[in-house]
Amino acid sequence: MEIDRGHAYLHIPAGENAGSGYAAYLAARAEREENSATAEQVRKNAAKKELAWLRRGAPARTAKPKARIAAAEALIANKPDGPARQGELGLDLGSKRLGSKGIEMLGVGFTWPDGHEVLHAFDHALEPGDRLGIVGPNGAGKSTLLDMIAGRLTPTVGTIDIGKTVLVGYYDQLGKELDLSKRVRDVVAGDKGSPSVEDLNLMKRFWFDGDAQFAPLSTLSGGERRRLQLLLTLIEQPNVLLLDEPTNDLDLDTLRALEDYLDDWPGIVVVVSHDRAFIDRTVEEILALDGEGGAALVPGGVATWLKQRSARTTTPRSAPNQRSSSTKPAKQKSSRSPSTLNRLIANVEKDMTKRTTRQTALYQDIADAGNDHKKLAALGEELAALQTTIESLETQWLELTEELGS
């Protein structure tokens, strides 16, 4: 009989070769602790996503976010019974210490030789902990700005002042050049000869542990090579991480691992991505480039930016002294009727209400699952997929309301 945190467990050896009652106790306790650690990991992963959502603030909608807020707070506060094994969930992220000074952009501008100006007199400081997402139309200068921050391009005007402790890691669309004759383990180790403990932790986190670490690069798929290139960027232990369209070539599991990694990462993150859900999950401020040299900073994610952009297109109607600017949105007037748009908005709101209701129920199911490993894994997968769907619906709602306002 074992008493643990108010619970009684009876351990009875089964079969002739089951061993002593103490052996059964040790085996049962180890299994219980492993399941408890899994339960806590599922709760923590779900709580991280909801905490990020709470920090951004719920987007304006009629889908009653109060219920989600209450459920999220309960999930964050709740812990499963039983002890998680010490050190099971920790991971040394291995970033170099970043001093008080990050990256300062003073009057930065860039004009291509053909005269196309993509950035004009831009001032901004990236400080430790900043998470910036860059959005804008194709050719607006998003990757160009990353290249300037990384030192690959020099501004045509202005200066970029880099702090002494800054170490930039750049995951771009081309990726690091790989020697296909080498093994994964050898490429990760580099000049060190063998991977460090931090290297091995990251390799495990991105599924290059076990036999996979000995695989020749020539046998890896295109997606696996891109995952390895991401790993090699993180192995450098940067404290400023630049991500240029990371969702283009990475599978969903790798993107989830990257999101979880960034949840705990203390450095500066700058993301360029057309994937609004990924940006909303990883950044806290948006830099919107208009493609004509203009740039606007917007706190929050893409949803907040779309809402503010929608407000800007409708506000001039009541301002007679701004008629010249209010005529611009008319050129992009929606081809769909107001009744059609209102019907679509109502359908999205109905779907959001249904999904958030299910999400609230999932939080309770996770809390009630206790140490049921299989059930927790299934609930965690359903919750992750549901969160992605809800964020997509929120973006649809904002786009439709913006179209209605035009």
Q: What single-letter amino acid sits at 165?
A: T
CATH architecture of 103-306: 3-Layer(aba) Sandwich (3.40)
pLDDT, residue 326, reads: 31
pLDDT, residue 152, reads: 94
pLDDT, residue 37, reads: 59
Q: Measured between alpha carbons, how far is 301 from 283 in angstroms, rounded to an integer?
A: 7
pLDDT, residue 232, reads: 92
For residues 235, 240, 245 and 248, what is the CA-based torsion angle, rounded to 10 degrees? Answer: 20
User: pLDDT digit of tens for each residue in the chain (406 aa)?
Assistant: 544 444 555 555 555 444 455 555 556 666 665 555 555 666 666 666 666 555 554 444 333 344 555 566 666 566 444 444 333 333 345 566 777 788 999 999 999 999 999 999 999 999 988 999 998 888 889 999 999 999 999 999 999 999 888 999 999 988 788 889 999 999 999 888 888 888 898 898 888 988 999 999 999 988 889 899 999 999 988 999 999 998 887 877 788 888 888 887 889 999 998 887 788 888 989 998 888 899 888 887 777 777 776 666 555 444 433 333 333 334 356 678 888 888 888 888 888 888 888 887 887 787 777 767 788 888 888 888 887 888 788 778 877 877 776 6
| 268-272/131-135 β-pairing | parallel
pTM value surpassing 0.75: no
Q: Measured between alpha carbons, how far is 169 from 175 in angstroms, rounded to an integer?
A: 11
Tokens representing 31 are 């299994």
pLDDT, residue 17, reads: 46
Yes or no: say if 397 and 348 are a contact pair by the CB < 8 Å rule.
yes
pLDDT, residue 346, reads: 85
Torsion sign across C-alpha atoms 381, 233, 171, 169: positive
Q: Measured between alpha carbons, how far is 32 from 38 in angstroms, rounded to an integer?
A: 10
| 240-244/103-111 β-pairing | unpaired
